Amino acid sequence: MADEEEEMEAMSHPELMALFRKELNKLMQDPLLADLPSEPTVEEVNAQLALEHGRAIVVNVRQMDDVGTILPVVVVQNATVDDLKKAIKRHITLKQEREGGTITNINWKHVWKTYLLTYDGQKLTEDHKPLKEYGITSKDVVTFTKRLRRK
């Protein structure tokens, strides 16, 4: 063990990063972590573990794009509508960072004024209401829906 520590102290930063990535790739072969991206965040690993232990659910969020993209968003079992909105924001931000290219600065205040989330015909309008009260369970689909303008 002491020999390994001495070897690591003699390594350069790029060599240590390469070793770290190699070891991380070994860990990612575990079936429990197989659904995670190649370089997951701590939050993503914790969410995956919470899913495995039944402390979280996946809510599939359908975007209002031409292809109806589905975003699998992980939230805790007792999550509220506001928790889901925050998880959507984190999911989209991480997705943009990983895809590279131009990162769009999304005005989330505008998004939530223009769109709302719906589930099975119900509008999820009460931010502090638990998802369970709307009948939302794991793998259910919630959809972005354009708000109707009031005159």
What does the pLDDT look like over 13-51, one tens digit per residue? 888 888 877 877 777 677 766 677 767 788 888 888 888
Residues 117 and 143: beta-carbon distance below 8 Å: yes
Provide the edge-to-edge strand list for the sheet that holds 56-62. Answer: 70-76, 56-62, 141-146, 115-119, 122-123
pLDDT band at residue 150 under the 50/70/90 scheme: low
Q: Which CATH number fits domain 55-146: 3.20.20.80, 3.40.640.10, 3.20.20.210, 3.10.20.90?
A: 3.10.20.90
Q: Which helix (H) or strand (E) holds 26?
A: helix 13-27
Q: Rounded distance, CA 85 to CA 108, Å?
A: 9
pTM of the model: 0.76
AA identity, residue 50: A
Helix (H) or strand (E) holding 73: strand 70-76
